Amino acid sequence: MFRQLMTFDAARRLIDEMIKPESSSEEVSLLEAYNHVLQENVVSTFDIPPFNRSTVDGYAVRASDTFSAEENQPAILKLRGIINVGEIPKMKIEKGEAANIVTGAPIPEGADSVVMVENTETENGKLLRVYRAVTKDQNIMKKGTDIRKDEKVLKTGRILGASEIGVLAALGIAKIRVLKTPIVAVLSTGGEISEPGKKLPAGKIFDINAYSLSTGVLESGGKPVNLGVVPDDRTELRNALEHALAIADVVLTSGGVSVGPKDLAPQIVDSLGKPGVLISGIAVKPGKPTTIGLIGKKPVFSLPGHPTSALLMFHLLVRPVIQQMAGKSPIEAKVVRALAAARMFSAKGRRTFVMVNLKRNEANNIIANPVETGASGAITTLAKADGFVEIPENQQFIDMNEEISVTLLKNSP
């Protein structure tokens, strides 16, 4: 059953057909709602602002009392007091009267405009000289100008950013229903793996994949749960996978998927439930040992232990599934045209992904330089690469100076 390699295109089609993860909603506080997908229509129950308010520091007046105001012949009005924010005006502005008002304060009854403070002078706190006329409603934000009562302010499916959460706060909403963040259990396998933060024993390496893959989960809209390192032991790995399936919507492992005697992940995944392993190896380079299973409705992605292979396969195959569960449309990767700086060879019969970095030459052409990997285990490969070039299974190589398409992984020249 295992190691019958599936083509890359067939693997992606099978993932789309078989893996249809279910999503559910939950109610969260506003501070927890950032970057979540709204799951209800939000309708305002009141006008915003709920009253006519001043947009400047100045004086609330009747506009008609200022029509004659000029620089050398000001309109003179009687002062009635001051209106501060957060208080209801107790006065009514009659003809020939004015009241000092601060920005955001309610407009008192009788007033229909606000003259800016810099266009006035006061005398003994009792009289106001107005040197520039104002028109009706000038410097006033009317009730309901921003949001009307019964207005649908936000629609279901909207991703909640800072501005949307600000709107919810303005409506007095403390909790909101959003699409539940998919939980992704992340675990690493292998006797050579050690947790960062501890002294590195001889013959071991620090766990790279759990942290790079967990970050990828976050970027995709999921919530990673790092379950640590599991040794190459059948019982311990089975227990870890059963625990991961119990607490998470998706399980993501790295290591233990090649053909060695300690590569147990595919066998154990296939024994955990139906339908079991769907894909046991993909005809790609890097990433050939990638194994994908489905236990009930929960996908299990078992990626290679090599950091570059694991992160590339995550980018190509896992990220879209998490984005779908999080309710976010997969963002099409940006593709640029470039010239190959060197000949790039494919692996016979396998879809090959060549990491490249990009630079502009003197003629302002984008040049794609293959990143020297040494081995697919080099974590710096993806850090150095701006993107990758895809060579089809039936193509032997890309020639030097050939125009190629580069799929970007980051901002590039």
Question: In this model, does residue 307 exceed pLDDT 50?
Answer: yes
Average pLDDT over residues 294-323: 93
* Better-scored residue on pLDDT, 194 or 139: 139
User: Top-level CATH class of 335-408?
Assistant: mainly beta
Q: What is the pLDDT of residue 21?
A: 76
Contact indicator for 249, 298 with CB cutoff of 8 Å: yes
Same fold, 8-23+181-325 and 26-48+153-179: no
C-alpha distances in Å from residue 23, one per residue of 17, 26, 135, 137, 160: 17, 10, 55, 49, 17
Phi, psi angles (nearest 5°) of residue 124: 60, 20
User: Where does 8-23+181-325 sit in CATH, by number?
Assistant: 3.40.980.10
Nearest CA-CA partner of 228 in 210, 201, 251: 210
What average pLDDT does the segment 252-276 reach?
A: 80
**The predicted structure's pLDDT at residue 1:** 47
- What H or E segment, with its residue span, contains residue 187? strand 183-189
| Angle subtended at Cα 357 by Cα 355 and Cα 358, rounded to the nearest 5 degrees | 135
**What is the predicted pLDDT for the residue at 373?**
62
Q: Using 50, 70 and 90 to split pLDDT, how confident is the model at 264?
A: confident
Domain ranges of the chain: 8-23+181-325, 26-48+153-179, 53-141, 335-408
For 122-170, write each residue's pLDDT tens digit: 998 899 999 999 999 999 999 999 999 999 999 999 999 999 999 999 9
The pLDDT assigned to 259 comes to 55
Mean pLDDT of 211-238: 92
- The backbone region for 162, taken as left when phi is positive above 0, alpha when psi lies in -120 to 50, beta otherwise, is alpha
pLDDT at 290 over 50: yes
More confident residue, 206 or 179: 179
**Distance (Å, whole) CA 318 – CA 307:** 15
Both tokens of residue 234? Answer: 């059948």
The span from the CA of 363 to the CA of 376, in Å, is 33
**Structure letter (DSSP) for residue 107:** P
Fold type of domain 26-48+153-179 = Molybdopterin biosynthesis moea protein, domain 2 (3.90.105)
> Per-residue confidence at 256, pLDDT binned at 50, 70, 90?
confident
pLDDT at 31 (0 to 100): 93
Cα separation, 72 vs 100, in Å, equals 22
Distance CA 68, CA 134 (A): 10
Contact status, residue 234 vs residue 405, Cβ threshold 8 Å: no
CA distances from 169 to 39, 40, 75, 230 (A): 17, 16, 42, 44
Strand-strand pairing, 284-285 and 351-360: parallel
Residue 258 has pLDDT above 70, yes or no: no
190 forms beta bridges with none
Residue 309 is inside which H or E element, if any? helix 307-313
Domain 53-141, CATH class in plain words? mainly beta
How far is residue 258's CA from residue 291's CA, in Å, rounded to a whole number?
A: 9
pLDDT band at 232 (very low <50, low <70, confident <90, very high): confident
pLDDT at 78 over 80: yes
Handedness of CA 300, 302, 307, 311 (dihedral sign): negative
In this prediction, residue 3 carries a pLDDT of 56
Pairwise CA distance, residues 53 & 139, whole Å: 9
Question: What pTM was estimated for this model as a whole?
Answer: 0.79
In angstroms, the CA 372 to CA 342 distance is: 12
- Per-residue pLDDT tens digits for 336-375: 999 999 999 999 889 999 999 999 998 999 999 999 765 5
What share of the chain has pLDDT > 90, as a percent? 76
DSSP 145: S
Average pLDDT of the residues of the chain:
91
8 Å CB contact between 98 and 59: yes
By mean pLDDT, which of 21-35, 104-118, 122-136, 163-177 is the weakest?
Answer: 21-35
Q: How long is the chain?
A: 413
Q: Residue 246, Cβ neighbours under 10 Å: how many? A: 9
Closest CA to 80 of 103, 59, 58, 52: 59
pLDDT of amino acid 267: 87
